[in-house]
Amino acid sequence: MGVIAPNGTGLDDFWHSLVRGQSAVRRVTHFDASTYPCQIAAEVRDFDPLRYLDPKTAKRLDRFAQMVFAASQMAIEDAQIDSSREDLSRIGVFIGSAIGGIGVIETQHNIFIEKGLKRISPFTVVSSSTHSASGAIACHFHFRGPNTTIAAGCNSGLDATYSAFNAIRLGDADVMIAGAGEAPITPFSFAAFNVSGFLSRENRNPERALKPYDSNADGMVLGEGGAILVLEELQHALQRKAKIYGEIVSYSALNEAHDLFGAESCNGTMALNLEQTLKKVGIEVKDIDCINAHGNGILPFDIEETEAIKKVFGEAAYQIPVTSIKPITGHAIAATGIFQIISSLLSMKYGVIPPTINLECPDPRCDLNYVRKDPLTWETRTVLINAHGFGGRMTALIVKRLSSEPPVS
């Protein structure tokens, strides 16, 4: 696994920030946001693309692709993939991104308006493409297997992961580089999110702005970053004695088909989606040790998620620990799903569930066993991960510790 996140670069820093409940939300520094209603975001502040890319390639990639590429280097190193020993046509890349190269688009559009057509970079078409990250990884590492990009809003990272899982299951690849990246904190993109009304306006206290399930919640906080998983066919991994964090065992995706922007808590689609995720592989309610929830600080979405969990888990819903890491990482759109997977796998490794910080006054309709304030020491073998996107998209995925392997040392 590899991660470039607002709360930490690399697995250790990312995890330690989660466990300590250290929010990465601050006032925006990428540009002057002083006139915006929301002036806060979770930015990746220590990222230098030249640590991972040669200057020419770095210049030709948008920030989102730079971070995805860096995370892929970390993940491939963590997985100890030796390209000289692999059939590179059996290694593929699936990346999720909802926004893509919006920074390049904005910059080049400004150049076009101010200086004319001839001053636009000839690399704009490629570098602004949502697919640029997936292509850059494949070209650099010479991975010739299946390669695609999925753009499905907040669910894109989980969707890319499961698509990569299926590529292996169907025999199209032995190894898949799967993940997501976003860099939406740019002047116009951030303005668009501002006028949507979905962003918190608690500018005076950024670290406490995003409050999932809280009666005082006033919206989400935008984030950015890149995160990558190396997925591998089990026997292939065992033969090369790879360390194994866990396995993907199930996935389900539905659409509530209600409204492009809102949430509909009464139609039960999210509950059905969670139920399908369990039933597909015969996992029972009692087998779920933790729920790594969407919890984005937009109260109607948080209420809908809570109601869905109660409908599926019944009385057990009040015993299963539920956590949302977004108050710490921000909502990095497609990348958030991969942050959730990495967080869940590290919870299995360390036996600790990170807290949902800023949850002080739970809404009466949000009454589950949320992990609050402090991390919870908890034996974690199976985690249900949930995501909910605009347009009614719902995605759930289950990861578990591989029963035949000891925890990662």
Strands (E), 365-407: 376-377, 382-389, 393-400
Among candidate residues 290, 294, 366, 388, the one labeled active-site is 294
Which residue in the block uniquely carries the two structure tokens 């909910």? 388
Please give the Cα distance from 335 to 325 (Å, whole number).
Answer: 12
Contact 308, 271 (CB under 8 A): yes
Decide if 331 is catalytic: yes
Decide if 258 is catalytic: no
| Two structure tokens written together for 166 | 């299926």
Among candidate residues 38, 131, 154, 388, the one labeled active-site is 154
| Two structure tokens written together for 405 | 């392997």
Contact 357, 328 (CB under 8 A): yes
CA distances from residue 172 to 4, 77, 123, 163, 238 in whole angstroms, order as listed: 28, 23, 31, 11, 19
Q: Angle 269-279/299-313 helices, nearest 10 degrees?
A: 40
Contact 399, 246 (CB under 8 A): yes
Contact 285, 312 (CB under 8 A): yes
Q: Angle 63-79/102-115 helices, nearest 10 degrees?
A: 150
Decide if 266 is catalytic: no
Of 261, 230, 229, 281, residue with least CA distance to 392: 261
Which residue in the block uniquely carries the two structure tokens 């963590």? 78
The overall longest dimension of the chain from CA atoms, in Å, is 65
Among candidate residues 131, 331, 366, 388, the one labeled active-site is 331
Residues 6+ apart with CB under 8 A from 23: 7, 42, 206, 207, 208, 210, 327, 328, 357, 358
Catalytic residues: 154, 294, 331
